[in-house]
A = this chain, B = another copy of it.
């Protein structure tokens, strides 16, 4: 036998790119965390320390910042698409470039009816994400966009049950007719490649996020799985450009506190929010005619 190099990639992670648009007195801000990585024939660097084909991660960083000015940031997706395509031009040995972006939202500080021109407060709550992979050259070019959100913490104080489950000799959980359902959602959806040129990324993101939230709120839940599936289906039905959607949803348990030792009733009013352990549901909802994902999910945090 002999030892060989297997799959590999390298890049610069967590470039904190902040772009201010200040062409008028009313500034705009885009606040990104950008991670780039390159795949290709970099074996010599691994086996012989030969860096001649390696575009340094420091150069990748420089490019990420320079492109924030040269190309601008209209949406994380457009920025990532341009940056990813560039790296294939810049380094011949590169066969694919992946650009992963997190975007933190800011609101204007409320001063006057329109908010302040140049003072902002970070919104908090969920973070918008995208993972763009650009692979191949010329006619072989493939371009995948997997966008999503993370840390979207949602809760229903009723309209959730968990009954009729399988029981074995290690089961002690009582059935719950009415419980709190809460999760800190991660969702990632893959756009069809055919839609990459025509999708309006910001609009699509806002609408899919709205659908996920509304469906979570209005679906009676017999399990977190059922809520997730309903959310995914609603998103796919409304957005033909989306091929599939993946969820990772920790069940943030809120346990009803037993107040009976103190002579106090507790009909679903006082809960302890627990940290660990937590249920963890991961599921993909897809179309039966979705295109092949190719390498869209390669090295993307999530199901693969």
Interface, chain A (partner B; CB < 8 A): 1-22, 27, 29, 31, 35, 37, 42, 45-59, 61-63, 65-66, 68-70, 90-91, 106, 109-111, 116, 118-126, 151-159, 162-173, 180, 210, 213-214, 216-218, 221-223, 225-226, 228-229, 232-233, 236-237, 244, 246, 250-251, 254, 257, 259, 261-262, 264-289, 298-299, 301, 303-304
Oligomer copy total: 4
CB of B11 within 8 A of CB of A120, answer no
**Contact residues in B for A272 (Cβ distance below 8 Å):** 15-18, 65
A166 and B53 contact, CB distance less than 8 A: yes
Bound-state CA distance A282–B288 (Å) is 33
For the complex, give the distance between the alpha carbons of A240 and B121 in Å. Answer: 27
Which B residues touch A251, using CB under 8 A? 57
Closest to A185 in B: B121
Contacts of A125 in B (CB 8 A): 121-125
A interface secondary structure, majority: mixed
CA distance A53 to B164 in the complex (A): 9
Q: Please indicate the chain B residues that have their CB under 8 angstroms from the CB of A126 in the complex.
A: 124
- Flag if B154 contacts A216 (CB, 8 Å): no
Q: When the two chains form their complex, are residues A69 and B18 in contact, meaning their CB atoms are under 8 A apart? A: no
Min CB–CB distance A302 → chain B (angstroms): 9
Chain B nearest CB from A94 CB (Å) reads: 10
Interface contact A229-B10, CB-CB below 8 Å: no
Say whether A170 contacts B6, CB under 8 Å.
no
In the complex the two chains form, is A217's CB within 8 Å of B52's CB? no
CB distance A168 to B20 under 8 Å? no
